[in-house]
A and B are shown apart, each in its own frame.
Chain A
């Protein structure tokens, strides 16, 4: 069974950093591109970042470019999102999702709250 489990969220002050993790199981992690997608409270979905299976291709939404870094460790079956210079508008539920063009499996999400 495919599982994606996010962790690392919490309450953080504006301007600070936070690192999210997503541990994958039930499939060959190194064969798939991975993504982070977020949802602000009561709002729609926003794609955040993508990383290809071998980390050769990385893309970001304009709203996070230069502040967030997506990475992965295929030996540990883990996806990461390093978030710096956090802003109140980054407050959201962050999902990791498997896929290179479409997202067939999603985690349950991890909440990040940016507030003083």
Chain B
């Protein structure tokens, strides 16, 4: 199975700071069709997860442009510029390239 390793596990920030989360895959996530099925989700406290980014860098509808996804192959990054209070929670990367599909372990973004 593909293992997604997220770092850091926890990230303390000041509002207005930039935050960066890494997701490394044990295998390349480029599918045979040329697409890379790597996504990012945010789970706010007490809520269901919500989609932020799909196919590495595409923001889902309504997601602010301060969320930027990048990467290729096995290394991916989610950057959040100017962290706001509603950005706090646990971030998960997820791959749907290789069966079985898998989530990363999560990164908790909290206030310093």
Chain A residues in the interface with B (C-beta under 8 A): 37, 44-47, 50, 59-62, 95, 101-104, 106-109
A60-B100, A102-B54 known; A44-B106 Cβ under 8 A:
yes
- Is the CB–CB distance between B103 and A47 below 8 Å? yes
Total A-B contacts with CB atoms under 8 angstroms apart: 56
Chain A min CB distance to B26 (Å): 15
- Bound-state CA distance A102–B106 (Å) is 17
State the main secondary structure of chain B at its contact with A: loop
- Is the CB–CB distance between A45 and B49 below 8 Å? yes
Give chain A residues whose Cβ lies under 8 Å from the Cβ of B94: 45, 47, 102
- Bound-state CA distance A59–B101 (Å) is 9
- Is the CB–CB distance between B48 and A47 below 8 Å? no
- Bound-state CA distance A95–B103 (Å) is 14
- Bound-state CA distance A101–B48 (Å) is 18
